[in-house]
Structure 1
Amino acid sequence: MAETRSWSLKSRVALAVGAVLLLGGIVVLSVALAYGRQAAREAYDRLLLGAARDIAASITIRDGAAVVDMPASAFQMLALAPEDRIRYRVTGPDGATLTGSDAAPAPPPREGAGPVFYDGDLGDEPGRYVALTRRFAERSFSGPVRVMVGQTLRARQALARDIAGGALAVLAAAGIAIGLFAWLAILSALRPLRRLGRALARRDPTDLTPITLPMPSEIAPVLGALNGFMGRLDRQAMASRNLIGDAAHQLRTPVAAIRAQAQDAQDETDPGRRARLLSRIHARSVGLSRLLDRMLDRAMIIHRTDTAPRAAIDLRDVALEIYEALEDTPGGAAIRLDLPPGPVVVRGDALSLVEAGKNLAANALAHGRAPIRLGVARDGAAARLFARDAGPGPAAAIMDGMGARFAAHAPGGAGLGLAIAREVAQSHGGALSLGPRADGFEAALSLPRLGA
């Protein structure tokens, strides 16, 4: 199978941090450029306004006419931008130019007094203008005199670039520092994963005990899932070891007995004794077959404990399936169903519950006293799947060992039926209950009931 390659966590986080820094840098640079242009415009607009006010202040009325005595201070202000060209114009009440260049554009119409800033051409370059109006109301002269001063944009653009360049330099330094700290933070954040990897690498292949390492809350679910997975593997491995051990221990004696009896039957010349030996061989073969069936059933139940999906199940359907499966077995006709009118719902694996119920019913048929009742009942927040016979039940000494593996207390028993039922009950969050009732002895699976 081809290996599926994927980006490392460090690469993904670094890419995400880089994308955030790039996007943030673009936003900050755009803001810096806008701020630089605005700051440069405001700074040089003040110079234009100062120059216009100096010119306006120098206007005097002589012999009924407005006279402009251009002040040197106005040009000194504008000289702060030595690479820019300037243009000025002073117009009288009739709009005629009193001094300056007729090419200076007039401001757009505007209501109210005060200076007006506007854009216009200054020769073959774009320019910025301010218009300032001074009103006269004298006997020999009355009306507004407008002063217009313009300047090219070279100094403004240079100042905006300087501001943006400074912001970009600061941003680049901050980005490098943030990237470095982010990379160190990534390495620190991934250190628990490296510890987890080293802990797994140092482990013996047969060690499936839970890993106990301090982990951040984000990685703790991964460790929990890993421990759960190893727990399931451990249960499956334990089941396999038990199956192998049980097979080696439990099958050796009956197989040896069958071999010996078969050898005796082969050598026996007396027909009657040979028939008895063959009958014993058949009985032991049936018992061995029953033991193998129970051992495989138990292995299957343990396997399904961790692999079979759980679903909402009506225990009445489980009981009905058990009844139909045992109806044609020897003594199965003596079983009676005892089901409540409404659903009794639990969450579980139907196949495992059916197998456990079969063992309870088969045990009652084999060792109990008729009548045998197979049924379902509610018991508070629990539900019971039970098999009940009319007998007094086993002795107290036998009760203590019931439910253990290979605890057979009757001839021909495998000793696994109740052990299977106990393991199914425990895997469903319940328990196997054994004890006398008013009308007999009951073995039951007690399970949590849904909707209780």
Structure 2
Amino acid sequence: MAESRTWSLKARVALAVGAVLILGGVVVLSVALSYGGRAAREAYDRLLLGAANDIAAAITIRDGAALVDMPASAFQMLALAPEDRIRYRVTGPDGATLTGSEDAPPPPERRAGGGPVFYDGDLGAEPGRYVAVTRRFAERSFSGPVRVMVGQTLRARQALARDIAGGALAVLAAAGLAIGLFAWLATRSALRPLQRLGAALARRDPTDLTPITLPMPTEIAPVLGALNGFMGRLDRQVAATRNLIGDAAHQLRTPVAAIRAQAQDAQEEQDPARRARLLARIHERSIGLSQLLDRMLDRAMIIHRTDTAPRAAVDLRDVALEIYEALEDMPGGTMMRLELPPAPVVVRGDALSLVEAGKNLAANALAHGRAPIRIGVARDNRAVRLYVRDAGPGPGAAILEGMGARFASHAPGGAGLGLAIAREVAQSHGGTLRLGLCEDGFEAALSLPKAGA
């Protein structure tokens, strides 16, 4: 199957930072252009206004007529924009041009009068910017407003706006490079724990499934925890397989050799009675070997299901009923009794594993206990119990202490795995296997936490 590839974390961070910088650049550039245009307009509007005021201040009245002596200071102000063309016009109260160009457009009538008026208009073939200043006279020989209009093209304004926007863009580009560099360094630093984790895994022996203990950031710690959990489950599966192979090699060699030797003796035996006894012993040992194999396979299956079977809500009353139905045809099975409460007793677990553990407890009670055998379910304070009771006194304290370990059978013909299976099932469900005397006999029970506890 082809390896699924996706973008690296560095590429994703670079893409995200680049997108932010591009979007920020567009916003900053638009803001810079707007600010630059406004700043340039305000700066050169002041020049226009200063020139117009100088011209208005130079108007005098002689012999009942307005005379305009164009001041040099007005043109010096306008010369601060040497690339721009200028146009001026002075009109009398009747609107007639006193001096200047007739082509200079007047301000809009609705905005004329009062203070200075700025407006846009053409200056030849180019767009221009104008200001109109009105000076009012009230003399005996001359009365009325004199309007001064001064305009210039927009080249200097546009150049200043571009300079402001270009400077802002240069600053943004430098800041973007710095942010990109810092983001790259931060990404490398943030990914270094993952590189350490990968190196630690690469250095490990394939059989080393112990937890990895490395300091990890909070965001990566769940990944390490999940990895350690997976290796723990894999280690339990490997250990179960190893134990199954070792147990099979150790436990099966002796009974198989004995059956083989007895079969050879039976084949060579001439006495019919002795041959019959040998065949009976072969049959008995075959049954014991079959039970041992069943228990070993059951244990392997239980360990496998511990990490693979999904946990679901299980009513222990159903588990007890299934155990009873599975064993009622065994020798002594008719002496079994069910003790079930009326309300459900729910745990979260694997029903098959719980049934298998209970069957082992009940089979032990049938084989080694004293009738009547009772299978039931009970509630404790924070736990529930799936129990099997018999009326016997149970094993002694010394024997009871070692029960539950693998191959720790103290009964003739026992495989020594039934209680080990029950203990492992209880532990995999967060509970314990309890063995001990009760008020009316001996009890073996799986003590399990309640669902949701």
CA distances 1:212-261 after superposition (whole Å, capped 9, x unpaired): 11111111111111111111111111101110111011101100110001
SS of 2:27 mapped into structure 1: helix
How many matched pairs?
Answer: 452
The residue aligned with 1:133 is 134
> What is the one-letter code of the residue matched to 1:170?
V
- State whether structure 2 residue 195 is matched by structure 1 residue 197: no
Structure 1 70/420 Cα, relative in aligned 2: closer, same or farther at 3 Å?
same
Question: Residue 74 and residue 424 in structure 1: after superposition, are their counterparts in 2 closer, same or farther (change >3 A)?
Answer: same
The separation in 1 between residues aligned to 2:432 and 2:198, in whole angstroms, is 38
Measure how far apart 1:62 and its partner are.
Answer: 2.7
Q: Which moved more, 1:173-182 or 1:344-353?
A: 173-182
- Cα distance between partner residues in 2 of 1:381 and 1:142: 108
Residue 318 and residue 66 in structure 1: after superposition, are their counterparts in 2 closer, same or farther (change >3 A)?
farther
Which residue does 1:402 correspond to in 2? 403
In structure 1, the residue matched to 2:77 is 77
Q: Is the 8 A contact 2:240 2:303 kept in 1?
A: yes
Instruction: Give TM-score, length-normalised by structure 1.
Output: 0.96
**Equivalent position of 2:186 in the other structure:** 185
Secondary structure of the residue aligned to 1:400 is: helix
Secondary structure of 1:223's counterpart equals helix
Structure 2 Cα separation of the partners of residues 132 and 174 of structure 1? 45
SS in 2 for 1:172: helix
1:371 is matched with 372
CA-to-aligned-CA distance 1:191-215 (integer Å, 9 cap, x gap): 1122112211111111111111111
Residue in structure 1 matched with residue 157 of structure 2 by the alignment: 156
Change (3 A) 1:133 1:313: farther
Q: Give CA deviations for 1:104-135 in whole Å, capped at 9, x if unaligned.
A: 22223238832222221111111111222223
* 1:66 to 1:421, Cα distance in 2 relative to 1, 3 A: same
Aligned to 1:66: 66
**Mapped pair 1:20 → 2:20:** yes
Which residue of structure 2 lines up, in the alignment, with residue 121 of structure 1? 122
Higher alpha-carbon deviation: 146-155 or 171-180: 171-180
Structure 1 counterpart SS, 2:103:
coil
Structure 2 unmatched runs, 5+: none
Structure 2: distance between partners of 1:400 and 1:36: 90
1:35 maps to a residue whose letter is Y
What's 1:341 paired with?
342
AA of the residue aligned to 1:372: I
Secondary structure (helix, strand or coil) at the match of 1:2 reads coil
SS in structure 2 of the partner of residue 228 of structure 1:
helix
Match in the other structure for 2:417? 416
**Alpha-carbon contact 2:361-2:419 (below 8 Å) kept:** yes
Aligned partner of 1:300: which letter? M
SS at match of 2:297: helix
2:8 alignment counterpart:
8
Residues 258 and 133 of structure 1: CA distance in aligned 2, closer, same or farther (over 3 Å): same
Indicate the residue corresponding to 1:88 in structure 2.
Answer: 88
* Distance in 2 (alpha carbons) for counterparts of 1:49 and 1:271: 139
1:23-422 equivalences in 2 (<5 Å): 23-108=23-108, 109-110=110-111, 113-422=114-423
CA contact (8 A) 2:113 2:134 kept: no
Deviation at 1:175, TM superposition (A): 1.8
Deviation at 1:278, TM superposition (A): 0.9
Deviates more, 1:8-17 or 1:306-315: 8-17
- TM-score w.r.t. the length of structure 2 is 0.96
| Matched residue SS, 1:333 | helix
1:362 partner letter: A
Report the AA paired with residue 83 of structure 1.
E
- Superimposed CA distance per residue, residues 291-348 of structure 1 (whole angstroms, 9 cap, x where no aligned partner): 1111111111111111111122222222222222223333222222111122222111
Structure 2: distance between partners of 1:88 and 1:344: 102
Which range moved further: 299-308 or 141-150? Answer: 141-150
Seen in structure 2, the aligned counterparts of structure 1 residues 407 and 54 have a Cα distance that, compared at 3 Å, is same
| CA deviation string 1:371-415 (max 9, x = no partner) | 111111110111111111122211111110111111112112111
Structure-2 change in CA distance of 1:116 and 1:326 (3 Å): farther
Percent identity reads: 87
Structure 2 CA distance, aligned partners of 1:267 and 1:111? 139
Compared CA separation, residues 111 and 117, structure 1 to 2 (3 A): closer
Structure 1 distance, partners of 2:284, 2:380, is 42
The change in CA–CA distance for 1:434 and 1:113 in structure 2 (over 3 A counts) is: farther
CA distance in 1, matches of 2:50, 2:298: 102
Shift of 1:141: 3.1
Q: Which amino acid aligns with 1:366?
A: A
Q: Which piece of structure 1 moves more, 79-88 or 306-315?
A: 306-315
